[in-house]
Amino acid sequence: MSLSVHDGGGKRRLLVMGELSAPEEQKELISAINDSAGMATEVNFFDARLLPEKLIKVLASYSSGEEPLRIRTHHPSLSHYLNKLKINSRNDLAISENKRHPAFKALALGGSADSLAKILHIIESLQLSELTVFIVQHVSEDQPNLLDKLLKMRTEYSVLMPHHMMPVEPATIYIAPPGHQLRIHDQQVYLTRDRKVRFARPSIQVLFESLAHEYESSLMVALLCGYGDDGVEALKVLRDKGATVLIESPEECEAKKLPQNGINSGNYDHVLSRKGIQSFFSSAVIKNSLPDLHTISFFLEAVREQYGYDFTEYQSGTLQRRIEVMLKSSGAADFFTLQRDVLTNPEAFEQLFSALSINVTTFFRSPEQFDYLRQKAFPFLESFPHIKIWVAGCSSGEEAYSLAILLKEAGLLQKTTIYATDINSHILYEAKNALYSCQKMDEYQENYRLSGGARQFTDYIEKHGDIFEIAPELRNKVLFFRHSLVDEGVFNEFQLILCRNVIIYFSNKLQNRVMQLFSRSLHRDGFLTLGDKESLSLGDGNRFFKAENKEKKVYRWLI
């Protein structure tokens, strides 16, 4: 962290650069804020994504009153967190110039050795549209080019090995024929037998340069795997004319030289995997700003490969609704812009991740279920020398802490460990902080009462201005860590598993997998609880469990 203090005109500005990871850095900033008491003070967080609990409590204590502390943030995660805590802050996120890209009229692929399979995959991803597609691949002049026959089996586009002076038509794929240079001018095909360029005929260089002049900014090209440098010089022409230039990552190529030479030239927009190129191309052909499931699927495959998070088995309706919301909130002009930003900017991915993660929760949500567990399940749990509970999809921790309170009142907390997991590392950081807004305190109190609470909810918290903190005794019994229900397995055996209003957002295939995971994780005498809109009919639940109380969504092993 770097902290600079600027005083002037009776005002103070604290500029905070970097993350606040070390305790001494946090102490330095807290000291600077305390020293500024009575002055008009503004704190600017330029890089911080989240803040530790001690600092949050200080900010909350100074954020109200006659001369409240002014807070400015520059990262979406921190802005969202402070908003949840109702701590006033100004969001100075850099707004990208997400103007709608001129509609693409043409796409082009150029490759040499090791590019055939990539070409086939990319073309297969394209829905039929009015765009024209051009392909040039290095093929020996004395060998037939079978690419047109291979593509006709994989696409609805018309596929042609064109003739000289043939008009260019929409919804058509044109393949540069062996032994000829292919150029496009005034929507006419020109085939010549002139010299080889970069030892190639057909040459990527020749086709790309002619397309740059023909289509300018309405063109997107991808340079794929291969040897040599054919096409590299054309990249500058393409960029000068406003075309979008993609290069396949050399890391996934056996023939790396061609894409690496393209990268070395510096004349490109993005270096992407083959799946990333598929996402760019498939989103370029859609007519509407909102994508269909076909287009979303290629995007999510690229996201999984790029960032390691798998959303491909989420329910289709959930995916479409949340991407639509993100389109509106992010300011992206269309889906092509959104997927471009996510695949090339980790901060944009974080926004997508937050949009697709399920983080709806509150203290003692569904209190009648908590009351049932307190009365019926806890007496069974008492027989175990050590109780292990898994709260799967714990979000920001309210459910785990609610359970800890009831276990405390039942005299079971000391021999209990609550494992609270979620896929979202940022939301887990918030859960570990154990800080929440007081705005819904009346709701929390009422839910606690309906859950059978024996005291007052406020007995388990400590207030800090307009936020409150969960008591240390409860926090110490909850272990928060990242775990994905999508692709990670068993990590312990539990007497009680809570997974509420999570799997309803998954596809049937993923629901099956999660139910199998729960069956391997639950003790034979344990309890499984689901959300109020979920049941064993989701996935393979009926193969493993039976209803203990169908109305309360509590289940036990099917024996």
pLDDT band at 96 (very low <50, low <70, confident <90, very high): very low
At a CB cut-off of 8 Å and minimum separation 6, what does 438 contact? 86, 463, 466, 467, 468
Q: Partners of 90 in the beta sheet?
A: 72
**Residue range 481-504: average pLDDT?**
94
Residues 176 and 118 in one domain: yes
Domain for residue 101, yes or no? no
Last residue of a domain, one of 282, 307, 330: 282
At a CB cut-off of 8 Å and minimum separation 6, what does 348 contact? 330, 338, 341, 342
Domain for residue 19, yes or no? yes
Residue 455 half-sphere exposure toward CB, CA atoms < 13 A: 11
Domain for residue 96, yes or no? no
Do 467 and 56 meet the contact criterion of CB atoms below 8 Å apart? yes
Residues 179 and 253 in one domain: yes
State how beta strands 478-482 and 181-185 pair: unpaired
Residues 114 and 42 in one domain: no
Asked whether residue 53 carries a pLDDT value surpassing 70, the answer given is yes
Predicted model pTM: 0.81
Domain for residue 48, yes or no? yes
Q: What is the CATH number of the domain that holds 166?
A: 3.40.50.180
**Domains in the chain, number:** 4
Reported as a single tens digit per residue, the pLDDT across 146-171 is 899 999 999 999 999 999 999 999 99
Reported as a single tens digit per residue, the pLDDT across 422-440 is 999 999 999 999 999 999 9
Domain for residue 336, yes or no? yes
Can you give the residue range of the structural domain that contains 550? Answer: 367-557
Torsion of CA 542, 544, 548, 553, to 10 degrees: -60
pLDDT band at 444 (very low <50, low <70, confident <90, very high): very high
Question: How is residue 238 written in tokens?
Answer: 């393409």
Question: How is residue 474 written in tokens?
Answer: 């409860």
Question: What is the separation of C-alpha 105 from the centre of its chain, rounded to a whole number of angstroms?
Answer: 29
Q: What's the confidence (pLDDT) of residue 100?
A: 61
Residues 124 and 251 in one domain: yes
Residues 387 and 525 in one domain: yes
CA distance 387 to 412: 8
Domain for residue 362, yes or no? no
Residues labelled catalytic: 112, 138, 230
Residues 299 and 324 in one domain: yes
